[in-house]
Chains A and B, each alone.
Chain A
């Protein structure tokens, strides 16, 4: 099955700086890559997603890039704010049902 690796496991940045989280996947058939933000005591919230026919997608301060050849995708958050502090998960899917998640990145934005 698919294996998704996520790095780093923890990330601390100063407010206003950028944060980058990277994921790799193993199954070349994966074609959908969502990113979720999970705050303490809550379920994961979709923040951005990308499909395999697109190399980059941006939504305000958040962007995702996908390199199908290298089988990796990244989340970029610019101008970070304290409310961006949370755990972020990447995921990959091939079939439409099973999402394979990374192990998460705990992001702390220091005011």
Chain B
């Protein structure tokens, strides 16, 4: 079965750039939509953006200007870059597989990576 695992720094300074990687095992990344979602402490889930295996991307309009998502099919990984960080970007960041094309559901999810933005 497909499993996802996030990796990256747990602490990032304000104004700097966050880079996270999601490693996919048990299946190929060369299919489906691959997605980043975050959850600030004590708050709800927020979609960040998705990338199709073809390279096509879709982003949350509120984050679009600060986000990049890319695929590395040779490593079966996809990555998130979020720049100009503020304390409001502190959250658990999840990667997930999107099912049934654009607009479907997310399954499975990674375990999540806590990212704190603080000096």
Q: Do A and B actually bind?
A: no
